[in-house]
């Protein structure tokens, strides 16, 4: 069995475009959890790990996405 080498990709300081998609998905997940459980401490614990898990500033972006999802996608009109 021949092992193939992966192409070297230099690290980049820019967030990848898929990062925003991932953070939006996290926001939808946390918003759904909030709507079902109403457990603020749980949501805060998960949000506190976002900067470490993804990138600095991720927690703020997830909060913004949560507000946008609540306002535009889940508004009862």
Q: Residue 9: is its pLDDT beyond 80? A: no
Q: Domain ranges for the chain, please list them.
A: 18-73
What span, in angstroms and rounded, lies between the C-alpha atoms of 73 and 13?
A: 31
Query: For the whole model, what pTM was predicted?
Result: 0.75
pLDDT tens digits, residue range 32-69?
999 999 999 999 999 999 999 988 999 999 999 999 99
């Amino acid at each position: 069995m021949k092992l193939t080498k992966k192409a070297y990709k230099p690290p980049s300081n820019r967030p990848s475009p898929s990062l925003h998609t991932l953070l939006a998905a996290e926001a939808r997940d946390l918003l759904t959890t909030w709507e079902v459980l109403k457990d603020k401490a749980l949501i805060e614990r998960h949000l506190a790990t976002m900067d470490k898990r993804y990138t600095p500033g991720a927690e703020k972006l997830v909060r913004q996405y949560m507000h946008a999802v609540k306002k535009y996608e889940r508004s009862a009109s």
